[in-house]
Amino acid sequence: MTGKNKQSAWGVLPEEWKPICRELGVPAYRADQITVALHRNLAMSWQEVTTLSKDLRQTLSENFTLEPLKIVRTHTSADRVEKLLLECDDGERIETVLIPSKGRVTQCISTQAGCAFRCAFCASGMNGLNRSLEAGEIVAQVISACQLMREKPELVPFKAIGAPRPGNIVVMGMGEPFDNYDQVIRALRILNDQRGINIGARHITISTCGVVPGIKRLGEEGLQFELSVSLHAPNDELRSQIMPVNKKWPIRELLDVCNAYTAKTGRIVTYEYTLVRDFNDQPQHVAALIQLLRRCHCKVNLIPLSPVAGYSGRQPDERRCLEFLDALHKARVNVTMRKSRGKDVNAACGQLRVAEAGG
């Protein structure tokens, strides 16, 4: 093991510490101490892990970085959504959002710096993809948030859940998770591991814009994560206008792979449908959506559009949103409507980073 290319300790799975300890010539029980120090005690440097010998701390610090991501800025919205702008080692900036609700904190995490998929109403895709994040950088977003909650408990009501950690993780921040499949799944396994941060699989939701091979692969993993798919339109013509990914994997192919995923895993897919005034919110659109999903065992989540700089679409009025919801209810589609939170801190995906960059 060399200290030249240091690996992030946050990107190591708990079971990997044992072979690492063997390689370093230290007893295997040290592996458990390392996991507890990292994921339970949220150590911010090797030097503070006093359960380990001084020599081992030194060796670990030569081989593994343990710094949290630098918090460049925090913004708190009027409805208590906390948005963090974080900086990676190479200066790349990414976002994560903490949303307190019902005594729990849901954390939205990023998987890439920027995004190549360029969905119309998403700030993350506006300037393309800079790079994908390492698993350690994805986990470190949660660690940074845990540390912030520990230092500033007034920010989020973590006391209500007994520990400074999020109760739910949603992979809905910057980036397309299946465009960075291996690192994302590794990070989620680390967050899910009972020896570590221990966030239950059913409290972890992966959101994709519709990358069909990624959905297929996830279905073969035997994992119990929730899957959410951005649909946003009831036909290919409209969907391709706002989601270029649809030209590669059109709706029929997407629904087929989602149905196969449900058949294989027993997990229901949630389709996200952002309502945009006069674009996809009309009676013919809800009729087409009902027709499309009539044989799918799924959920639909309606989201009235939040304004995004660079996209001219507008939010439908409340009556239109409720009519759309009601039509789905009447057709026995399992549907909910989500309110956007944190609008005053640019909490939608990618907005803070764009605002900070003057974009």
| Residues near ligand SF4, by CB under 6 A | 115, 117-119, 122, 124-125, 174-176, 209, 349
Q: Torsions phi, psi of 234, nearest 5?
A: -95, 0
CB nearer to ligand SF4: give 126 or 197. 126
Q: What is the dihedral of CA 125, 128, 130, 133, to 10 degrees?
A: 30
DSSP structure string for 75-143: EE-TT--EEEEEE-TTS-EEEEEEEEETTEEEEE--SEEE-SS--TT-GGGTT-EEEEPPHHHHHHHHH
CB nearer to ligand SF4: give 176 or 226. 176
The residue at minimum Cβ distance from ligand SF4 is: 125
Of these residues, 119, 122, 209, 349, which one is catalytic? Answer: 349
CB nearer to ligand SF4: give 203 or 232. 232
Q: How far apart are CA 45 and CA 311, in angstroms?
A: 43
340, exposed or middle or buried, with CB in 10 Å at 0-12, 13-18, 19+?
Answer: middle
Q: How far is the CB of 216 from ligand SF4 (least distance, A)?
A: 17
The 3-state DSSP class for residue 272 equals: strand
Q: What is the distance between the terminal CA atoms of the chain, rounded to a whole angstrom?
A: 42
- Vertex 225 angle, CA 222 and 228, to 5°: 120
Q: How far is the CB of 282 from ligand SF4 (least distance, A)?
A: 23
Q: How far is the CB of 331 from ligand SF4 (least distance, A)?
A: 27
Q: Is residue 77 a contact partner of residue 83, using CB atoms and an 8 Å limit?
A: yes
CB nearer to ligand SF4: give 125 or 166. 125
Q: How far is the CB of 303 from ligand SF4 (least distance, A)?
A: 12
Q: How far is the CB of 249 from ligand SF4 (least distance, A)?
A: 12
Residue with tokens 């859940």: 161
CB nearer to ligand SF4: give 3 or 310. 310
Residue with tokens 């013509």: 237
Q: How far is the CB of 211 from ligand SF4 (least distance, A)?
A: 8
Report residue 60 CA to chain centroid gap. Answer: 29
Q: How far apart are CA 174 and CA 180, in angstroms?
A: 12
Q: How far apart are CA 66 and CA 42, in angstroms?
A: 10
CB nearer to ligand SF4: give 269 or 349. 349
Of these residues, 82, 95, 176, 226, which one is catalytic? Answer: 95
Contact residues for 232 (Cβ-Cβ < 8 A; gap 6+) = 119, 239, 242, 243, 272, 273, 274, 280
Q: Is residue 166 a contact partner of residue 107, using CB atoms and an 8 Å limit?
A: yes
25, exposed or middle or buried, with CB in 10 Å at 0-12, 13-18, 19+?
Answer: exposed
Q: How far is the CB of 338 from ligand SF4 (least distance, A)?
A: 15
- Catalytic annotation present for 349: yes
CB nearer to ligand SF4: give 42 or 119. 119
Starting at the edge strand that comes first in sequence, how are the strands of the sheet with 298-304 ordered? 70-76, 82-87, 93-101, 104-108, 168-171, 204-208, 226-230, 269-275, 298-304, 334-337
Catalytic residue IDs: 95, 349
